Amino acid sequence: MKDGYYSIEQVFRIKAWDFASAGEASSQIKKILKQLGIDPALTRRVTIAAYEAEMNLIIHSVGGEMRLKVTPQSIIVTAEDRGPGIPDIALAMQEGYSTAPEIARELGFGAGMGLPNIKRCADRLNIQSSVGKGTLLEMYFDIKAG
């Protein structure tokens, strides 16, 4: 177990407002899953969820980290940031709710569909957030035996 329980673990650093490299972590995640031979429909769900989580770190947070873990049974993508946190998670989960600033909206972000998209794509979703400290998003995807 010294090498770790997970077959694969990869970390991506995400910078706030870094629109130029936005989507890079998600495309890396997609590439890795493709190489591992993960089912395309599942890869697609993971990719969409990862993209939305990545954009949320870029647009709404001060920056953070995304992590991909793959085991024989599951794919886990986490997004963790160092603030500002989400005051009302139930409200943030509502489709159409967004606090994205006007400049982000002009670029087509801020539809308020990111978290709902993530929820729809993931088999299980866990969100922990504390204002002033940060947010942790854990997305679980089951790998069904072929």
Ligand X SMILES: Nc1ncnc2c1ncn2[C@@H]1O[C@H](COP(=O)(O)OP(=O)(O)O)[C@@H](O)[C@H]1O
Binding site for another protein (CB under 8 A): 19-20, 22-24, 26-27, 30, 41, 44-45, 47-48, 51-52, 55, 107-109, 111-114, 117, 120-121
Helices 24-35 and 40-60: crossing angle in degrees, nearest 10, is 160
Are residues 133 and 126 in contact, defined by beta-carbon separation less than 8 angstroms? no
If one asks whether residue 111 binds ligand X (CB under 6 A), the answer comes out as yes
Number of Cβ within a 10 Å radius of residue 89: 13
Contact code string over 11-50 relative to ligand X, x by CB under 6 A: ----------------------------------------
Exactly one of 43, 56, 129, 135 binds Mg ion (CB under 5 A); that residue is 56
Helices (H), the chain: 24-35, 40-60, 89-93, 102-106, 114-121
If one asks whether residue 64 binds Mg ion (CB under 5 A), the answer comes out as no
Which parts of 45-104 interact with ligand X (CB under 6 A)?
52, 56-57, 59-61, 81, 84, 86, 92, 97-100
If one asks whether residue 134 binds Mg ion (CB under 5 A), the answer comes out as no
DSSP code of residue 143:
-
Q: Which two tokens stand for residue 33?
A: 């899953």
DSSP code of residue 110:
-
Q: Residue numbers of the site for ligand X (CB under 6 A)?
A: 52, 56-57, 59-61, 81, 84, 86, 92, 97-100, 109-115, 135
